[in-house]
Each structure stands twice: as structure tokens, then as C-alpha cells.
Amino acid sequence: MKRTVDGTLKFVVNGEDMPVASTGLPKRVLPVLELGGAVTSVTVTSAAHHQQQHLPLVSPGQQQQQLLQPESLDVVLEQSEREDNSSNGNAATAAASEQVFHENHGRNVTLFDGGRRARRAESYNQGLALSGRPLARGERFAVRLGRANPRWTASLMVGLATFRTSLPVTALGLKKGSCLLSADSLYVDGARTPRGTYRGPNLDSLGEGETVGISLDESNRMRVLVNGVDQGAVGPELPQQSYHVVIDLYGQCEEVSVCGREPQEPEGGKVDQQSSVLETAAGTTKIPVQDSALRHCDYLALCSRFRSSLALPPAHFSRAERPRCHCAACHRARADPAYAKKGEPVRDYALPVGWCRFPLARSHHNQQHETWHTAYHGCDPRHLRRVLDSGELALQGGLAHTLY
């Protein structure tokens, strides 16, 4: 077998070239032979790099020994390691735009845009994608979340792992040599660490358009960045090895794309920041709070999982508006008032503190909703599908609840 300069694979049988077997081979490939059936042994009879025609006349035994030496797997791997070290010599300051996804990925993953976008085509697992090369210290690799499928629960998993050709069905199957984040839990070498090791946003609460980044600091610890905000080092100091970034398109997360450059944390409140009042043990403190950070709430993530468990059709929910959490912490962080005004004539209504809001899709016949007043209606979750399908409130004792 041979690989031509244009990436074509050809087989040679008894010295005769066969037709093209495949095209588009990567630059570095290793031949693989399987001794199956009646075949019990093989011998290498020709060397790569087309040097056999220039070999001196030697005995068959000497020729075999000379030809085998340069094709030793140890030599090939040593050359490959030298190439990696050479190409990554200055990678510590390389931007994430130079990274793409590796050609070795999960069975359900398809790569697009030259390896910059990965999509899970079916099911909810087999969606592992790796960075195209090992992550250098100080380098950031970030992805932007694409479309989501509310049919499933849980979502994206990220982390670092040593390279391997055989990939498990999910990132949690990566045992030795891995440091992975799933939801708000950290797994090191396949074992879950104590709760609270990671204190950043729950990854299951991230939505379309938001970003997650991974970097390796100077002490060889993994750092996680959510929407450009560094969540600090997580997990222990990793052994001195080469680590690829692991992105698992799991559950609701069906697509991610490599960011050109991981967005940086805003400085001095320049972008999308507002002042909020938070109550602490030391008293009342005024601090800047990012609007995007308000979405990373454990209560919101819990309510989102409950909504998913109801298996409600996605068409009933708005794609233009995001869910909004009104738990006590988010309410204080946004400095929301207790009451708001709406409708004609204007009337006060209480904000639903302690609840989460999942906006519904607006039908063509209620475009005048801005003039409506706001009220709330509670019903048993078993009746919610019927309410959404019919557009009418749930019945109790044969009568519909009508709120004005």
C-alpha cells in the first residue's frame, strides 16, 4: 500500500498498481495489517519514501534488516512526536482560531466547515469530538453552542483527556488521563469529585449562542470559561502529558462550532453589565452583575429538566425569548421590583417570585397581547399538555377557570 503526495491511497499487488482505493488521506497515517484466517505471518518487503531502487546490492537477509529498521513503529512514533513538538513549539500563545476538531470523533458526529463545526446527527450519545491537536499551556479552546434538542435531558460535557483512537459512547467513559465537567460535577480519571469542587455555572443551563472554553494554566490545571468569564482552576494538577480538549455533544446539545477567539471577560462594566444589590453576611453590597450570568442558576436548570421530563412539544414554546428565572437569588441580582404594570387600563401585577418562566409561542390570533392584563393560573402537570393543545384553561368540577 502507498499514499501519494495528493493524499490518495493505492494498493500494490505483486508489484502492480491497483486502481485508487481512497482519496483525501491526512498527512500522517500508519499502515494497519490484520493477520486473519489462514495468514499467520507477514514480512515487510519494501521501504517507504521510494528509496528501494537506490539500495546497494546486499544479501536478502541484510536487505530485510535494513528495510525494517526505518519502518520500525518506534521510529515512526518518535518522528511523529518530533513533528508535534516542532509544530507546537510556539503554540502557547496560539489563538483558538488555529484549532479545529480532530478527524477521530464519535460515530454520530459529522464535521463541517473544515472541521470547525461538529454536529451530532442522531441519538443522544456517541457525540465525542476532540481538538485537532493537544492544548498548549496558556492556550484557550472555546466552542459556541448551536442548536439544541429539547427531546433529551442533560447537555454538553467538556474537559481534557489524553488522545486515544477508540472513543467511548460518552465522555464519562474516558477514565485514566481525563478531567471532565458534566453539568456542575467534575470527574477526574473517571471518578466523580466531591460536590462543590466546581463552583461555576451549570453546563446544562447553557443555551444556543453561549460559549464554553477550556484552557491549561502554568500549573497544569484545567480552567473553565463560560461566556468569556474565567471560572478559575478546577480539579487537581494534571500529570505532565499532552491533553486534547474533549467536547461531548450529549443530550440536548446537538451542535457546536469552534470560536475564532474565546471572548474575554468584560472590563470595568463596559459590556452588558448592570449594578445589582446583593445581601451578604457582611451587609448589603453593590456589585456589577453580568446579564448572561443571571441565566446560570441551579434552580433554572432544575426547572428546565422538569419541563423536559413532561415531553411537551417544542412548538408550544417561543424560540425568540429565553426562559427567565424568578427565584429569590435571581430576583435580587436583577434588582427587580415586586410589582410591574401592564394592560389597558394599566394595572399592577406581582412578579412570580419563586417560579421560572418559559415563554410560549404566540399564535396569529392573539397579537394584541400587549394590551392584556397579567394573571396566573395553576394546574396539575397532567393537564398541562391539554391546556397547551386546546388553548383553554384546565377544568375543575366541569367548569373552566377564567381569570380576568
The answer to whether position 20 is within a domain reads yes
pLDDT at 338: 87
Distances (CA, A) of 178 to 47, 54, 138, 243: 37, 47, 18, 8
Q: Are residues 300 and 333 in the same domain?
A: yes
- 246-265 pLDDT, tens digit per residue, is 999 999 999 999 986 444 44
Report yes or no: 12 and 39 within 8 Å, Cβ to Cβ. Answer: no
CA distance 185 to 197: 8
Please say which residue of 258, 284, 318 terminates a domain: 258
Please name which of 223, 95, 102 lies closest in space to residue 160, comparing C-alpha atoms: 223
Q: Are residues 127 and 226 in the same domain?
A: yes
According to DSSP, the β-strands at 324-325 and 157-161 are unpaired
Q: Are residues 175 and 32 in the same domain?
A: no
Indicate the range of 34-38, 137-141, 144-148 predicted with least confidence. Answer: 34-38
Task: Indicate the helix (H) or strand (E) that contains 357.
Answer: strand 356-357
Average of per-residue pLDDT across 178-197: 90
The answer to whether position 12 is within a domain reads yes
The answer to whether position 177 is within a domain reads yes
pLDDT: which is higher, 98 or 156 = 156
Report yes or no: 161 and 246 within 8 Å, Cβ to Cβ. Answer: yes
Indicate the range of 88-102, 131-145, 215-229, 270-284 predicted with least confidence. Answer: 270-284
Q: Is the pLDDT of residue 230 over 70?
A: yes
Q: Cell numbers at residue 210, please? A: 453561549
Q: Is the pLDDT of residue 80 over 60?
A: no
The answer to whether position 268 is within a domain reads no
Average of per-residue pLDDT across 51-79: 45
Q: Is the pLDDT of residue 17 over 60?
A: yes
Q: Are residues 104 and 57 in the same domain?
A: no
At a CB cut-off of 8 Å and minimum separation 6, what does 112 contact? 118, 119
CA distance 24 to 107: 19
Indicate the range of 131-145, 274-288, 388-402 predicted with least confidence. Answer: 274-288
Q: Are residues 212 and 109 in the same domain?
A: yes
Q: Is the pLDDT of residue 64 over 60?
A: no
Residue type, 326: H
Q: Are residues 316 and 185 in the same domain?
A: no
The answer to whether position 322 is within a domain reads yes
Of 82-91, 94-103, 115-124, 273-282, give the range with the top mean pLDDT.
115-124
- H helices of 88-223, where? none
Structural domain total, the chain: 4
Q: Cell numbers at residue 346, please? A: 394599566
Q: Are residues 302 and 189 in the same domain?
A: no
Please name which of 303, 316, 304 lies closest in space to residue 388, comparing C-alpha atoms: 316
The answer to whether position 340 is within a domain reads yes
Please say which residue of 55, 87, 119 terminates a domain: 87
The answer to whether position 380 is within a domain reads no
Note down the domain range covering 31: 1-42
Q: What percent of the chain has pLDDT over 90?
A: 26
The answer to whether position 199 is within a domain reads yes
Residue 351 falls in which region: left (phi positive, over 0), alpha (psi -120 to 50) or beta:
beta
pLDDT at 1: 85
Q: Are residues 24 and 68 in the same domain?
A: no
Q: Are residues 238 and 217 in the same domain?
A: yes
> Strands (DSSP E) along 6-47, which ranges?
9-13, 16-22
Residue type, 296: H
Q: Cell numbers at residue 402, please? A: 377564567
CA distance 171 to 245: 11
Q: Are residues 98 and 215 in the same domain?
A: yes
Q: What percent of the chain has pLDDT over 70?
A: 74
User: Could you give the angle at the alpha carbon of 224 between the alpha carbons of 173 and 267, nearest 5°?
Assistant: 165
Report yes or no: 92 and 81 within 8 Å, Cβ to Cβ. Answer: no
CA distance 112 to 95: 20
Q: Are residues 215 and 118 in the same domain?
A: yes
Report yes or no: 44 and 68 within 8 Å, Cβ to Cβ. Answer: yes
